[in-house]
Amino acid sequence: MSQPPDETPLSTRRTHHARDHGWRRSQQADPYGEYEDEVWAADTGGDESYGVIHDDADEMDPDMAEHFNQAAEAEYRARRRRSPLVRWGSLLAALAVVVVGGYFAVQAVAGMLPSFAGGSDEVEDYPGPGSGEIVVEVPEGAGGADIARVLAQNDVVASAAAFTAAAAVEPESVSIQPGSYRMAEQMSAEDALDRMLDPEYRETDGVTVREGLWKEEVFAVLAEGTDHEVSDYEAVDPADIGLPAAADGEMEGYLFPDTYSFGADDTPTQQLSDMVELGTTKWAELGLEGRELDTTLIKGSLIQAEGAFSDDLPKIARVIENRLDEDQPLGFDSTIHFIFSERGRAGTTDAQRESESAYNTYVLTGLPPGPINSPGLAAIEAAMDPAEGPWLYFVTTNPSTGETEFAVTFDEHRENVQEFQQWCRDNRDAC
């Protein structure tokens, strides 16, 4: 005899049916609530099998829902009855994936770090500190393996692999810099590494080029600090040292002042290239390039030449801007000194101030055509960010101390000039 039809809504009947089979509604299976279907999970004490019971009667009738649930439960129980060997096999396979993945991850990271791999499985090493002396050159861009090969080729160590092994356990080994090193012959790898990490055995020509020097003065400083002659630097072709386009082939102002450690084999061309390269880096950090770079270096060189104290630099920069705005000659003695390559005198003569040079800021308005020295960062930054003020004049009233007075009017300036003139009367040999 047939049963009367069940008037309970289809979705409710399916819900009851799923619960009767030990299933529960799962939030985990549909965390975003994107589906209208009911998502159910078998409550199996920790593991879950998911199935979807559709709400659309056209898609699945009650009998199909029952078959669906029965099939899902059967699949779950079948997985529970699987052989332990199968489960252990799955675990081992997963472990293999982790191990292999980890190996390749380590290799990927290692590829980004300095390596001392020498490429040889044979590890030979000398037993002691060695004897004699040999100068070994570590070239620019040399990696750990390159350093190891250089030492082995010069018989400093018995093998590249020996030095590689010693360097691998010493974190400081990555700090080895290019340059010349005084080593012994037939050293143990550990002794060789210790010596390369000791600054005492690194031969460098530390040369300090201070701010505000003319190109010829830079050459003299470099020659004095190295084994080269001034004429060697004068012979360098500007096209060979990487000057920026703004320099228009002129070195003046583009040889950045700093302390440099040159290798024993560095040529004058290489040394000047290093100075330009450092300058290029510093200027780029300030956002200077093209014509703006050249203009800023010109202003910076004037500020560097005229200012004795860092506090005065931005104020001198403001005087430059105010005079340019007023279309007045700058009237800087430093440009006259540059024209005549004359140091040691505070003032200038009437004849010098009448020079027809393009650098004569007493006669011509505007900026000179190029820098008059190599300015440092403080002067360059002052040129980029002048102080606020109405000053049109300044004068160093006491060149011995560098004391400088600023004025707005010419009458104020004339009084300050009288102080300078008095200093000159008291120091005739300096004016």
**Which CATH number characterizes residue 187's domain?**
3.30.1490.480
According to the per-residue pLDDT averaged within each range, which of 119-128, 140-149, 376-385 is highest?
A: 376-385
Residue 112 lies in a domain: no
Residue 398 lies in a domain: yes
pLDDT at 66: 55
pLDDT at 205: 60
Residue 103 lies in a domain: no
- Tell how far CA 39 is from the center of its chain: 55
pLDDT at 362 over 60: yes
Please say which residue of 285, 304, 325 terminates a domain. Answer: 285
402 shares a domain with 374:
yes
Residue 126 lies in a domain: no
Looking at the DSSP bridge assignments, the partners of residue 168 are none
Backbone dihedral angles phi then psi of residue 426, each to the nearest 5 degrees: -85, -15
The residue ranking higher by pLDDT, 348 or 145, is 348
Q: Distance between CA 207 and CA 192 in Å, rounded?
A: 27
8 Å CB contact between 207 and 225: yes
Question: In sequence order, what are the residues at sequence separation of 6 or more whose Cβ sits closer than 8 angstroms to the Cβ of residue 133?
Answer: 182, 183, 184, 185
151 shares a domain with 223:
no
Q: Distance between CA 383 and CA 386 in Å, rounded?
A: 6
8 Å CB contact between 221 and 212: no
Average pLDDT over residues 91-109: 42
The residue ranking higher by pLDDT, 280 or 52, is 280
247 shares a domain with 216:
yes
pLDDT at 271: 96
pLDDT at 17 over 70: no
Average pLDDT over residues 251-279: 93
**Picking from 39-48, 142-151, 306-315, 399-408, which range would have the lowest pLDDT averaged per residue?**
39-48
pLDDT at 267 over 50: yes
Q: Distance between CA 392 and CA 406 in Å, rounded?
A: 8
Residue 157 lies in a domain: yes
401 shares a domain with 324:
yes
Residue 1 lies in a domain: no
CB neighbours of residue 295 within 10 Å: 15
**Picking from 15-24, 83-92, 345-354, 415-424, which range would have the lowest pLDDT averaged per residue?**
15-24
Question: In sequence order, what are the residues at sequence separation of 6 or more whose Cβ sits closer than 8 angstroms to the Cβ of residue 156?
Answer: 130, 134, 136, 183, 184, 185, 186, 187, 192
Which residue matches tokens 């606020």? 388
Residue ranges making up the domain that contains 16: 10-80
261 shares a domain with 223:
yes
327 shares a domain with 208:
no
8 Å CB contact between 390 and 318: no
403 shares a domain with 311:
yes
Quote the number of domains for the chain. Answer: 4
CB neighbours of residue 312 within 10 Å: 21
Core vs surface per residue 77-106: b (16+ CB within 10 A) or e: eeeeeeeeeeeeeeeeeeeeeeeeeeeeee
Question: In sequence order, what are the residues at sequence separation of 6 or more whose Cβ sits closer than 8 angstroms to the Cβ of residue 356?
Answer: 363
Please say which residue of 251, 285, 319 terminates a domain. Answer: 285
- Please write the tens of the pLDDT for every residue from 155-179: 999 999 899 888 888 878 877 877 8
pLDDT at 65 over 90: no
> Whose CA is closest to 37, among 54, 24, 56?
54
427 shares a domain with 349:
yes
Helical segments of 45-175, H only = 62-80, 84-110, 144-153, 160-168
> CA separation (Å) from 393 to 159, 297, 320, 337, 431?
69, 21, 9, 19, 20
Residue 34: which pLDDT band, with cuts at 50, 70 and 90? very low
> CA separation (Å) from 232 to 219, 237, 269, 271, 312?
9, 11, 9, 11, 37
pLDDT at 175: 76
Residue 7: which pLDDT band, with cuts at 50, 70 and 90? very low
Q: Distance between CA 66 and CA 266 in Å, rounded?
A: 87
274 shares a domain with 291:
no
- Please write the tens of the pLDDT for every residue from 311-327: 999 999 999 999 999 99
Give the mean pLDDT of the chain.
Answer: 78
Residue 4 lies in a domain: no
Q: Distance between CA 61 and CA 430 in Å, rounded?
A: 111
Q: Distance between CA 408 and CA 195 in Å, rounded?
A: 62
> Whose CA is closest to 132, among 182, 185, 180, 181?
185
221 shares a domain with 168:
no
Please say which residue of 203, 228, 262 terminates a domain. Answer: 203
**Picking from 286-295, 344-353, 373-382, which range would have the lowest pLDDT averaged per residue?**
344-353
Residue 217 lies in a domain: yes
pLDDT at 60 over 80: no
For the record, the structure tokens of 423 come out as: 């200093």
Share of the chain above pLDDT 90, in %: 53
Q: Distance between CA 256 and CA 207 in Å, rounded?
A: 12
The number of helix segments (H) and strand segments (E) in the chain equals 15, 10
pLDDT at 139: 81
pLDDT at 187 over 70: yes
pLDDT at 32: 38
pLDDT at 123: 80
The residue ranking higher by pLDDT, 29 or 126, is 126
pLDDT at 206 over 70: yes
330 shares a domain with 295:
yes
According to the per-residue pLDDT averaged within each range, which of 11-25, 84-98, 102-116, 415-429 is highest?
A: 415-429
306 shares a domain with 244:
no
pLDDT at 165: 86
